[in-house]
A and B are shown apart, each in its own frame.
Chain A
């Protein structure tokens, strides 16, 4: 192999695929990154067996070839080089790659590319999804996925493609986030898969520089998903199992409803959470309608045992009964942070009934958060 590319392109590519490098693995080669010539470009790839990332960068190919080298070492080295041309050369059947850049010359020992775990080619029906919408949808649901493995399906995001929309849902047992996204084209057949939240978080990171639509492909037996971006591909193993039917968990009715500014609600929740840091995290929310045409108000309060307390207040449009409900302050912050400003409605039917949060300007998102049972 003999290829030449720009330092900044190689550094960027290694940064992208580096996220899929195995951290502690029993299979040593998974801490390596694959470097290979591929149809006139340089392909970089890494996999931790759950996720595989591939990235193509431009370069001059003098001689084809492939090798894997320790990702961390190569990344640190390339990142430290000046922004000039890098030449990578590998003698046939050699296990050492030689890098030259400006006045630096290095050799790095590697392992045979043939031993690198094959990255599955995912083939099947392909769906095009708007990159900006996808990013928003992932952001609005991914934090609700479970982080412990006690129920593996809950560590994933449920993706349902039906008609002309795709629905993302995540639930960790305490809260549920559901987001619909419009598709450009109708699909013929309903499809449902569970994508690991970790994979979608990685995808979200990659989407920051993406403007073209993302191509999403499931394989025929629904074990893998491929997200193809410009010059980058992410393949993830799907989670097998059945995602719980969450439709009945979204209350159809409410007894009390308050509409507030997201920014104010978030700010007061953050302040209260400072006082809820004794570990309980309990933030008490009350709201009631105003009398004689005066605006309604919402209070957000917290106390730290033996230390102190705080109560904040904001204007609210309140309908229905006065309400009181306590939440884990972090859960409230999590959802308010992913709503892009505007106004939000908090609906509930009682202190031990779910709180439902809906952005007012956008009916494609709903968040259900269970309250904390507290003494009032």
Chain B
């Protein structure tokens, strides 16, 4: 065989190997070969589900934008987005769009650009506000000399969510104390509101408590005594939800079979809001995209080594069969999370309030658990009824952390204290053991502005 033939043969073999590798790669969950760069902290879990964002090949920017809105649109609406797309589609803003096309999410959040990605997944330099607000000091002389890099990083403004930061809101809370008198968390109301919910399957589960006599026969259960004991004290059994409600699963052929480990789909039939939150959040987003369950090992946050292999689903935190929400609110988290903030929790004043509540030394809803802040209770519309349920999508208030101020902190603390505390990284790391050593100027600036405007009005008279 001459050397040219050898070269052709080599080319053929290499080509076959490359094609085989790429074909295999695209057909599996591990599409590393196609990854143009490390994904952001928000998307790294689903980076192997290319089609989640690149829904159509060669679909262009519109397809990507559609994918962004598909997952984040509802959050932005709830956040009363300060810079919605509609602000930039009017032709009068064409000159602005030319310098910063804020109609598209990817203008500021370009994926797979790990080397230039900043907090909040922003891939622009920190001073991007300058592009449209360069003349801010004409309108707000107090802003003279303030570096544009600090607009969205200094605790005063966010690009999207300013619900806790807008001027009139600050003005209303200038005199808040550190602690709100009689502050507490909203009380969960599902048990009381079931009868008001039009979509609750009351015929299947009449609101009549299950007793030892009416409990379904326990199939394939070895520890019948403890399962029964656990079950009979749950809210489920009190609401008439029997074993078969979860364990009888309908198969594709319509046949009903007993399932030892019901999936999140079973939970969804009654807890749709919670499951939707779980699937949109950090614990369940892989399942939503059709990937295998999230495991702590995949997380970028420090996790306990002994938890690495756990496959996250509803039951990971709400363990069968007692489904103790108090356990799910603290111990379940600490079984996996191993960062400084989590490790410091049990030495924090927040934990003291929680311990007092669960040991009956203080009133219900006065304790602060992990879930109080990271899966807070909120009012959710169900038809024409508002029910207080736990938000299982941590992204709703995790970053930027000022998103947490109104929904969580202000249940117990004043606005100024909350803003300062959330701006103090050390304090957060120590799980709020102590007082803020950082002070955000925004409330002082509002006080000054209001007093100036009052003076001007008096002069006018």
Indicate whether A and B interact. no
A residues near B, CB below 8 A?
none
B residues near A, CB below 8 A?
none
